[in-house]
């Protein structure tokens, strides 16, 4: 899927917000199983952000 510049910015912003929310929920939970789930989500989000940054750089020489 080919994105345009504004879409890269929107997706990056959304992922950063979701990352912050998941990080906050992970630190607030007292349930170890739930914490593991949030931590796995955080790892997935980090990977998605890295992939998005690489794609933006390759497609438009865009630094996110």
User: What does the pLDDT look like over 27-44, one tens digit per residue?
Assistant: 999 999 999 999 999 999
Reduced to 3 states (helix: H, G, I; strand: E, B; else coil), residue 52 is helix
- Give residue 17's domain range: 5-60
pLDDT for the residue 1: 80
Residue 14 pLDDT exceeds 90: yes
Q: Is the dihedral of CA 46, 47, 49, 54 positive or negative?
A: positive
DSSP 31: -
Chain centroid to CA 17: 8
Average pLDDT estimate for 4-26: 96
What is the four-CA torsion angle of 53, 58, 61, 64, rounded to 10 degrees?
0
Residue 58 banded pLDDT, cuts 50, 70, 90: very high
Q: How many domains does the chain have?
A: 1
Has this prediction a pTM greater than 0.85? yes
């Amino acid at each position: 899927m080919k994105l345009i510049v504004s879409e890269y910015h929107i997706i990056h912003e959304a992922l950063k917000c979701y990352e912050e929310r998941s990080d906050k929920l992970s630190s607030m939970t007292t349930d170890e199983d739930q914490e593991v789930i949030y931590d796995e989500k955080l790892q997935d989000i980090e990977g998605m952000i890295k992939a998005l940054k690489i794609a933006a750089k390759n497609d438009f020489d865009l630094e996110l």
